Amino acid sequence: MINPRSVVLEHEAFNALTQILGIMLDQMFDVESRAVWEVEDVIDLEARLSESAEGSPITLGIDDVALLLQGMAFTEVMSEDLPWIDTVRWVTDFVTAELRQYWTEDEWREFAQ
The model's pLDDT over 40-69, given as tens digits with 9 standing for 90+, comes to 898 899 888 888 876 788 899 999 999 999
Chain centroid to CA 17: 5
Nearest CA-CA partner of 84 in 96, 71, 75: 75
Query: Which helix (DSSP H) or strand (DSSP E) does residue 71 occupy?
Result: helix 62-78
Q: Is the alpha carbon torsion for 41, 47, 53, 59 positive or negative?
A: negative
In this prediction, residue 79 carries a pLDDT of: 85
Q: What pLDDT shows up at residue 2?
A: 93
Q: Angle at CA 4, nearest 5°, toward 68 and 76?
A: 10
* Residue ranges in the chain whose pLDDT is less than 50: none
In the chain, domain spans: 5-112
Structural element, H or E, at residue 7: strand 5-7
